[in-house]
Amino acid sequence: MASYDIGIDLGTTKIIIYVNGKGIVLDEAAVVAYNHKTKKVLAVGKNAFSMIGRTPEYITAVSPLRDGVITDMDLTELMIKELLKKISESMMVKPRVAVCVPSTITEVERRAVVRAASFAGARKVYLIDEPIAAAIGAGINISRPDGFIVVDIGGGTTDIAVISLNGVVEKKSIKIAGNYLDETIAKYILNKHKILIGDRMAETIKCQIGNVFEPSPDKCAEARGRNMITGMPRKVTVSEQEIYTALKEPVLEIIKDVNEVLERTPPELIGDIHENGLLLTGGVALLKGLPELMKKMLNVKVIVPDDPLTCVAVGTGKAFDYLDELGDGFVHAAIRKH
């Protein structure tokens, strides 16, 4: 493998890989398909994702991560190894690899990430907290002696952190994020329309008409699934107002947790945050109306970078430039293996 420094955004729904000098080189679904008869990986990424729900019992097509942490160690190791093969020309020189993790994961979970990256061929493994990576990826100077707050809402977790002088001052990680919002939409449609839809359909509806600020009852989308009364396929039209009803409670819970972090923040930094604003990253940053709702409820300006989906991956890869500066949130994981 070429002697690159590699940053991996190891997400619940996606794996994004950044290589210094090249940028984003891979963006794949965090799914692996494994044949238990032959003991071989059939596919990873988007090819494995297309197999979900369509495989015989001896083939597993799943995401080996849940809520931002590894749930199946063996499949995670195989998945990372296969994805790194896609971006490497040889395995002659092992790279340094930085992997971003939720800011409040346990020591056991951290060791699981280290083991997975080491198995995949890393020479050295570093772990970086997601909010730190998001800030670096968004181009923020994290060494400034004033504070700002990062809210990274991915597929499995929402990570909230107040950052100042290269370190994390206050933080919180919750398991209400993109996947939870999809599940909430599916549950709403099941309860109201008696139609069972899949996660992919729920995500499509969220992207099409998800709006958590001044939704319109006239904008609609089509939900297709199975009628739970007749068992037959059925489609129904749902409005933006309905999806707002489904999403309102979990979104308000996220904002409440952001407010709790702000309440614990030292007064000196609160003034900085009101001036610098809130950095909103992750896939859910694209949810229509979310920046406006957060601004209204938190009384702070909300900044969404040009590409909130890749901020964490870019920041993870660029974090090697801060090895001597980061006082918190970026560690050489070898010291944590014991």
Cα 213 from Cα 248, distance rounded (Å): 9
Tokens of 317: 């890869």
pLDDT bracket for residue 87 (50, 70, 90): confident
Q: Name the burial class of residue 154, with classes exposed (0-12), middle (13-18) and buried (19+) by CB atoms within 10 angstroms of its CB.
A: buried
Distances (CA, A) of 237 to 25, 192, 233, 240: 38, 12, 14, 10
User: What DSSP assignment string belongs to 20-80?
Assistant: TTTEEEEEEES-EEEETTTTEEEEETHHHHTTTT-S-TTEEEE-SEETTEES-HHHHHHHH
pLDDT at 204 > cutoff 70 = yes
pLDDT at 90: 53
pLDDT in tens, 98-143: 998 877 778 888 888 888 888 888 888 888 888 999 999 999 988 8
DSSP state of 94: P
Contacts with 41 (C-beta within 8 Å, 6 or more apart), sequence order? 32, 33, 34, 35, 78, 79, 82
Residue 65 has pLDDT above 80, yes or no: yes
Tell me what pLDDT residue 37 has: 92
User: Can you say whether residue 292 is alpha, beta or left, with left for phi > 0 and alpha for psi between -120 and 50 degrees?
Assistant: alpha
pTM: 0.87
**The pLDDT of residue 3:** 55
Distance CA 247, CA 140 (A): 30
Cβ proximity of 20 and 4 under 8 Å: yes
How far is the C-alpha of 127 from the C-alpha of 162, rounded, in Å? 18
Q: Is the pLDDT of residue 150 over 90?
A: yes
Q: What is the pLDDT of residues 253-294, one digit of tens each?
A: 999 999 999 999 999 899 999 999 999 999 999 999 999 999
300-313: per-residue pLDDT in tens? 999 999 999 999 99
Strands 278-281, 148-153: pairing is parallel
- pLDDT value, residue 180: 95
